[in-house]
A and B are shown apart, each in its own frame.
Chain A
Amino acid sequence: MPVADFQVVLGLEVHAQLLTKTKIFCGCSTAFGAEPNTHVCPVCLGLPGVLPALNRQVVEAAVRTGLALGCAIRPKSVFARKNYFYPDLPKGYQISQYELPICEGGGLDVEVDGATKRVRLTRIHMEEDAGKNLHDVAADGSSGVDLNRAGVPLLEIVSEPDLRSADEAVEYLKALRAVLITLGVNDGNLEEGSFRCDANVSVMRREATAYGTRAEIKNMNSFRFLRQAIDYEVRRQVELIESGGQVVQETRLFDPSRGETRSMRSKEDAHDYRYFPEPDLPPVLVDEATVARLRQTLPELPRARAARYAAELALPASDAAILVADKAVADFFDATVALAGQGPEAAKKAANWMNGEVARLVNETGLAPAAWKLTPAHLAAVLGMLDRGAINGAAAKAVVEEVFRTGADPAEVVQAKGLAQVSDEGAIEAIVDAVLAGAPAEVERHRSGKKNLTGFFVGQVMKQLKGKGNPAVVNALLEKKLGG
Chain B
Amino acid sequence: MTAALTDLSLQEASARLAARQVSSAELTEACLARIAATDARVGAFLAVSAEVARAQAAEADARIAAGARRGPLDGVPVALKDLFLTKGIATTAASRILEGYVPPYDGTVTARLRAAGAVLLGKLNLDEFAMGSSNENSAFKPCRNPWDLSRTPGGSSGGSAAALAARQCYGTMGTDTGGSIRLPASFCGVVGLRPTYGRVSRYGVVAFASSLDQPGPLGRTVWDAAAMLQAVAGRDEKDLTSATRPVDDYLGGLEGGARGLRVGVPREWFQGGVDAGVEQAVRAALATYEKLGATLVEISLPHTKYGIGAYYLVATAEASSNLARYDGVRFGLRAEEARGLKEMYSETRERGFGAEPKRRIMLGTYALSAGYYDAYYLRAQKVRTLIRRDFDAAFERCDVVAGPVAPSPAFKLGEKVDDPLQMYLADIFTITCNLAALPGLSVPCGQAGGLPVGLQLVGRPFDEAGMLRAARALERELGPAPLPALEA
* Residues in chain A within 8 A of chain B (CB atoms): 42, 45-54, 81, 83, 85, 87, 90-93, 145, 271-272, 274-276, 279-282
Contacts and interface: CB of A to CB of B under 8 A. Distances in A.
Contact of B377 (A53, A272, A276): A276
A48 B325 contact: yes
Contact of B93 (A48, A92, A271, A279): A48
A49 B368 contact: no
Contact of A280 (B98, B206, B241): B241
Interface residues of B, number: 41
Interface of B: 85, 91, 93, 98, 101, 103-105, 107, 202-207, 210-211, 237-241, 317-318, 320-321, 323-325, 327, 329-331, 341, 345, 365, 368-370, 373, 377
B325 A49 contact: no
Nearest to A91: B325
A201 B201 CA distance: 46
A47 B331 CA distance: 8
Contacts of B85: 47-49
A282 B211 CA distance: 10
Nearest to A37: B330
B207 A49 contact: yes
A42 B105 contact: yes
Given A45-B330, A48-B93, A91 B368 contact: no
A346 B329 CA distance: 63
A280 B210 contact: yes
B370 A271 contact: yes
* Ranked 5 nearest A-B pairs via Cβ: A92-B324, A274-B368, A279-B210, A279-B211, A49-B85
Contacts of B205: 49
B368 A83 contact: yes
Contact of B345 (A42, A85, A275): A85
A434 to B, nearest CB: 86
Contacts of A51: 202-203, 238-241
A130 B319 CA distance: 22
A83 B239 contact: no
Nearest to A133: B341
A53 B240 contact: yes
Contact of A50 (B204, B237, B327, B373): B204
Contact of B329 (A87, A271, A274, A276): A87
Interface-centre pick from A48, A50, A90, A91 (highest chain B CB count, 10 A): A48
A81 B324 CA distance: 12
A281 B240 contact: yes
A381 B37 CA distance: 92
A42 B105 CA distance: 8
Contacts of B107: 49
Contacts of A92: 321, 323-325, 327
Nearest to A42: B105
A213 B322 CA distance: 34
15 contacts: A42-B105, A45-B330, A47-B103, A47-B105, A51-B240, A83-B324, A85-B345, A87-B329, A91-B324, A92-B327, A276-B368, A276-B373, A279-B241, A279-B318, A282-B241
B305 to A, nearest CB: 24
Given A85-B324, A93-B324, A276-B321, A47 B104 contact: yes
Contacts of B91: 48
A48 B211 contact: no
Contacts of B365: 274
A42 B207 CA distance: 14
Given A83-B368, A280-B210, A280-B240, A50 B203 contact: yes
